[in-house]
Structure 1
């Protein structure tokens, strides 16, 4: 039975050797694609940034069996979302993806060095040229989303209809009101107001919600490998959750469940995600791991004791949670 909330497979782990990725060969990647499609799912997520531009190139070599691809353009330096530069970066994605047309084009993060109206005009021109189907945002604050929708509607441009944000049982910052520079930045009501479908990423907290990192060293090349560019960042963001994860793992075992299974079932049945949203992104470095995550996502609701424990754990984790957007 398909999952209640749609699933996407995130290809952030695809890339050539030397790009801090774990899936280097098209044959490895094809195994993951085959498993995902076999279970009836057909949406893949990538980005220009993933694998330093090589994730998209690996995807181009695969048989997606009719599935679609979403990609994102990140501003690595100021001015990357200026019209001419945005068009250059988009052209790189199109070339890298080869035979596959882009379904959703996301702005991966704000480029506040560029007037947003200029960026949106360029996005609209690309859409009018038939280069992609839908427009999305990622890592923007709620007031920026509202501003973007307003500008797009005023000018008759394509509005954003998808938003990718970090979200898991122990990172629910998109759900609640929080002040930044004395401005309330509550995201989900904003998205609902404008009919924007939420897509959750980091649904397993970079793998921390498997509970495996409590007892073992990180796998080389994984998110928590301190030798990688992002390893220290992942440790800073999630290590403070260790006591909570330990308690939750023990409670899950009491119910004959794995913590990763608990995290995915929570997303499907107890989170703010709905069947009408854009979905939850799964990450996996092996076909076996991906298949297990799919099967876990297709299971039913959790026991009330576990749901309550997750809610209490989030209350404790909330104070240390990062903002959902890039400040």
Structure 2
């Protein structure tokens, strides 16, 4: 496993990480979670991602209990969570000072930890001034409840505004953004955020490297394996939007490239994300140890992605965003 700095910060995160979204609390309980987390650690993973909204808080409880029972040293781990959707009440969601402070304390209680390493604003909140959010995130850090803060699915403009406020007030700006990034979804990472890497040293912990499983190649038109994510009731809509002819054609076009390299398609897709120098860590998901073992082999695929191979991949997916003229 390689470890990269989280953006310009001094924090080192494993190039591949593990996220609790969908799996913990919905598909897995503590016993299975322990086995998966241990498998990740055996492969050198030190970064584990969560959110207050995952399984309505149960995902944090499961991760916290599993880590406690495994007896791991807390300083060996980088644990993150995300604040935005904390409950049904009017002040249980969003990025107000009230919800950030109360949500962070509630997350720490569920995780049974004194602090989290990285706390994210899970989405932008257009009903709260960004200055209030920046101040509240710095308060959380000043209390020692978190060490760094970041954003998830914010626009470049919103991140820039947050940094402008932080610099004006001599506070810490968001060191990391957590966007979706894969061979089919590239605009933010490769175009919109370009100025932010240089200007603010923004790091990325990207999610959905396999596009919710589409890039595994296991789906075909009208065929959804019963144990897959798209078989879950909550994901049926996503399945109907994702499994379209154009996308499936691209996936089929990638298979020969993976075969030529002698690697499974999912490893190629994950390695492609990790090969982007602006990506600090690629968050992977898995419900079985065998999936983790396979995913982690993507580390060995990164060196195989020569410029010639990358060109072949591009010729198939044809998804590279056009760069704005001013950023050239």
1:16-70 residue CA offsets vs partner (Å, 9 max, x unmatched): 3xxxx222x2110111111111122211001111122110010111136232310
Aligned to 1:162: 176
TM-score, normalisation: structure 2: 0.83
Work out whether 1:236 is the aligned partner of 2:245.
no
Cα offset, 1:101, TM superposition: 2.4
Q: Is 1:143 matched with 2:143?
A: no
Aligned to 1:113: 127
How far 1:297 moved relative to its partner? 2.2
TM-score, normalised with respect to structure 1: 0.83
Structure 1 residues 226-256: Cα deviation after superposition (integer angstroms, max 9, x where no partner):
x522331354145341111112123423443
For residues 97-153 of structure 1, what are the alpha-carbon distances to aligned partners after superposition, in whole Å with 9 as ceiling and x for unaligned?
Answer: 013621000001001011111122211111111110100111000011100001011
**Quick check: 244-253 or 50-59, which moved more?**
244-253
Tell me whether 1:301 sits opposite 2:311 in the alignment: no
Which whole-Å CA distance do the structure 1 matches of 2:229 and 2:299 have between them? Answer: 22
In structure 2, stretches of 5+ residues that fail to align are 5-13, 323-328
Distance change >3 Å, CA 139–CA 74, structure 1 → 2: same
Task: Could you tell me which runs of 5 or more consecutive residues in structure 1 were left unpaired when the two chains were aligned.
Answer: 178-185, 320-327
Match of 2:78 among 68, 82, 86: 68
1:86 CA drift (Å): 2.4
CA distance in 2, matches of 1:43, 1:50: 17
- Structure with the bigger percentage of helix: 2
For residues 82 and 75 of structure 1, what CA distance do their matches in structure 2 show?
Answer: 12
- Secondary structure of 1:90's match? helix
Pair 1:311 & 2:314 matched: yes
Q: Distance in 2 between matches of 1:173 and 1:116?
A: 24
Q: Distance in 2 between matches of 1:238 and 1:3?
A: 34
Indicate yes or no: 2:187 matched with 1:173: yes
Residue of 201, 204, 207 corresponding to 1:198: 204
Does 2:301 match 1:286?
no
| CA distance 1:88–1:289, change in 2 (3 Å) | same
Q: CA RMSD in A?
A: 2.6
Q: In the alignment, what sits opposite 1:28?
A: 32
Give 3-state SS (helix, strand or coil) of 1:69's partner.
Answer: strand
Is the CA contact (8 Å cut-off) linking 1:265 and 1:301 kept in structure 2?
Answer: no
